[in-house]
Amino acid sequence: MIHTLNSRVNPAAEEQTDLGIQLAFGATSRPVTDYREHVRKLIGERISPLIPASERERRFPREAVAALGSAGVFHERWSGGIHGDLGRAVVLAEEMGRAGLGGIGIGVGLHLEAATSLLRGFGSTAYAEEVLGQALAGDSVCCVATSEQHVGSDLSAVETSLTEEGDHWRVRGEKWFVSPGAAADFALVLCRGGQGPAIVVVPRAGLTPVQRWATTGMRSLETVRLRVDARVPDDAVLVRPGSGLAAAGQGLMYERLALAAQVLGALDLASVLAITHLKRRKQFGSPLYRHQALRLRMADLHSRILVARRGLYATVAEVSAGGGASASDAAALKVTVARLGERVTSECAHIFGGRGYVEDQTPLERLWRDLKVGRLGGGSDEMMWELVAAGFRPDHELYEAWVAT
Ligand SMILES: Cc1cc2nc3c(=O)[nH]c(=O)nc-3n(C[C@H](O)[C@H](O)[C@H](O)COP(=O)(O)OP(=O)(O)OC[C@H]3O[C@@H](n4cnc5c(N)ncnc54)[C@H](O)[C@@H]3O)c2cc1C
């Protein structure tokens, strides 16, 4: 049995979220709390019931994208300025995390944040606008295909080729990990043209899933190896050769923020279950909560979640306001939250003792498996730290004032 939880899992955290987001973004056409209620209801009624079969069959349910898109959730997220409404991106991802959607939530995030941001940011042609319209309406599923057998962290080495053939372009290669690759109607493919990396929108007819990976977690994300062989019109070249890496980096920023929000939502679920178990389960004649070692460990983890959430709001608010937040801030947030996610879910499962390791007893073993990949998705820990380190600036004046030279 796979557990789902559709009700409010952590009202205190939720009020904090809505207050934080409302303060950060000001009044919007629809209050954030209404959006949250709307999203939560949709998830509870239309998406959570899809989890058991999707996990069992390792299949991404297209219905999840259709349900959210047709209800206007994606349009609302991408209404407004250059970043759309990032507050809504956070709310949607948090709610997907709190409902324990795992792979389904990440798949929706890849569609909505990674792919849609690229279409919206770079799609000036009628073709791209048509694909964007379908994506926002939930009529089609989009994914982003960058990795290859020999290309992971170093995307500049991309080998999938883009060549001109008369008045069309030919895209050919094999993408190694693509999510949700088999369900996708369109893949935004990073490839190599004459002047360097480009991004091309390839429709389903040019995509052949050749292997479904037996991943440890995120089984409903349906990550596949994808063969790409397509002739596409010039309009489908979303980002011209030479500019592909910089554009991919922009899409990744949204993906990283949404991933952090979904992880923090999942940690609300995990920590509330563990805290409740501490109060209910008795050993040595008293609730586990009375055992200081467990109580303090949970307090430490809870504090880290609280601080990480505040960091997420502050970063998102700054990005929205066009302020100082940068790609390196999003990277810092993502790596810190992803690592916290792995640790918290492991500790929460531990608090359940043997039950925490059994599939049909709690959702914790699945959350633990799912969140493990957060340290790779959207770029690995080390790549995030490289982005952070690239922003290091020495202060020689300060150094000389304080350090004996
Ligand atoms: C479930 C799942 C879903 C995925 N979905 C998608 C998707 O939808 N689209 C897509 O394009 N990709 C996807 N990926 C691929 C993912 O983005 C990559 O796995 C990730 O970027 C790491 O690349 P790699 O696996 O090739 O590892 P490598 O790049 O080979 O790295 C191996 C290890 O070495 C470390 N490393 C590499 N270079 C350095 C360095 N210079 N300094 C220090 N450490 C370094 C890495 O951090 C990592 O720990 C998915 C992967 C998984 C597992």
pLDDT, tens digit, for every residue of 71-126?
999 999 999 889 999 999 999 999 999 999 999 999 999 999 999 999 999 999 99
Instruction: Please compute Rg for the chain using Cα positions.
Output: 22
pLDDT at residue 31 in the model = 74
Ligand 1: does its nearest atom lie under 6 Å from the Cβ of 177? yes
Ligand 1 geometric centre to CA of 379 (Å): 6
Whose Cα sits closest to atom 43 in ligand 1?
382
In CATH, what is the architecture of 11-141? Orthogonal Bundle (1.10)
Whose Cα sits closest to atom 13 in ligand 1?
177
Ligand 1 geometric centre to CA of 387 (Å): 15
The mean-pLDDT minimum among 7-11, 30-34, 385-389 falls in 7-11
Global pTM value: 0.94
Task: Tell me: cis bond preceding 180? Omega within 30 of 0 counts.
Answer: yes
pLDDT at residue 25 in the model = 54
Ligand 1 geometric centre to CA of 100 (Å): 24
What average pLDDT does the structure give for the chain?
93
What homologous superfamily is domain 245-392 in, according to CATH? Butyryl-CoA Dehydrogenase, subunit A, domain 3 (1.20.140.10)
Ligand 1: does its nearest atom lie under 6 Å from the Cβ of 373? yes
Cα dihedral 142/146/150/152 (nearest 10)? -110
What is the Cα–Cα distance from 379 to 134, expressed in whole angstroms? Answer: 27
| Closest residue by Cα to residue 297 from 350, 361, 355 | 350
Whose Cα sits closest to atom 31 in ligand 1?
153
Q: In which band, very low, low, confident or very high, does the pLDDT at 30 lie, cut at 50, 70 and 90?
A: low
Mutate to test the pocket of ligand 1, among 153, 160, 387 (most ligand atoms within 8 A of CB): 153
Ligand 1 geometric centre to CA of 306 (Å): 28
pLDDT by residue (tens digit) across 136-157?
999 999 999 999 999 999 999 9
Ligand 1: does its nearest atom lie under 6 Å from the Cβ of 9? no
pLDDT by residue (tens digit) across 246-265?
999 999 999 999 999 999 99
Contact, 256 vs 330, CB < 8 A? yes
pLDDT at residue 17 in the model = 60
Ligand 1 geometric centre to CA of 340 (Å): 19
Contact, 55 vs 222, CB < 8 A? no
Mutate to test the pocket of ligand 1, among 150, 342, 380 (most ligand atoms within 8 A of CB): 380
Ligand 1: does its nearest atom lie under 6 Å from the Cβ of 145? yes
Mean pLDDT computed over 330-349: 98
What token pair was written down for 113? 């944040």
Domain layout of the chain by residue ranges:
11-141, 143-242, 245-392
CATH topology assigned to domain 143-242: Butyryl-CoA Dehydrogenase, subunit A; domain 2 (2.40.110)
3-state helix/strand/coil string of the chain: CCCCCCCCCCHHHHHHHHHHHHHHHCCCCCCHHHHHHHHHHHHHHHHHHHHHHHHHHCCCCHHHHHHHHHCCHHHHHCCCCCCCCHHHHHHHHHHHHHCCCCHHHHHHHHHHHHHHHHHHHHCCCHHHHHHHHHHHHCCCCEEEECCECCECCCHHHCCCEEEEECCEEEEEEEEEEECCCCCCCEEEEEEEECCEEEEEEEEHHHEEEEEECCCCCCHHHCCEEEEEEEEEEHHHEEECCCCHHHHHHHHHHHHHHHHHHHHHHHHHHHHHHHHHHHHHCEECCEEHHHCHHHHHHHHHHHHHHHHHHHHHHHHHHHHHCCCCCCHHHHHHHHHHHHHHHHHHHHHHHHHCHHHHHCCCCCCHHHHHHHHHHHHCCCCCHHHHHHHHHHCCCCCHHHHHHHCCC
What is the Cα–Cα distance from 30 to 23, expressed in whole angstroms? Answer: 14
pLDDT at residue 12 in the model = 59
Beta bridge partners of 178: 224
Q: Which residues contact 391 (CB under 8 A, 6 or more apart)?
A: 326, 328
How many degrees, rounded to 5, is the angle at CA 88 between CA 86 and CA 89? 60
Atom of ligand 1 nearest to the CA of 145: 11
What is the Cα–Cα distance from 263 to 312, expressed in whole angstroms? Answer: 11
Ligand 1: does its nearest atom lie under 6 Å from the Cβ of 328? no
What token pair was written down for 265? 């939502």
Ligand 1 geometric centre to CA of 171 (Å): 23
What is the Cα–Cα distance from 50 to 93, expressed in whole angstroms? Answer: 17
What token pair was written down for 93? 């991802």
Whose Cα sits closest to atom 15 in ligand 1?
177
Mean pLDDT computed over 370-393: 97
Mutate to test the pocket of ligand 1, among 376, 381, 386 (most ligand atoms within 8 A of CB): 376
pLDDT by residue (tens digit) across 295-319?
999 999 999 999 999 999 999 988 8
Ligand 1 geometric centre to CA of 237 (Å): 25
Contact, 349 vs 271, CB < 8 A? no
What is the Cα–Cα distance from 174 to 226, expressed in whole angstroms? Answer: 6
pLDDT at residue 2 in the model = 42
Q: In which band, very low, low, confident or very high, does the pLDDT at 326 lie, cut at 50, 70 and 90?
A: confident
CA atoms within 13 A on the CB side of 367: 37
What token pair was written down for 207? 């995509």
Ligand 1: does its nearest atom lie under 6 Å from the Cβ of 60? no
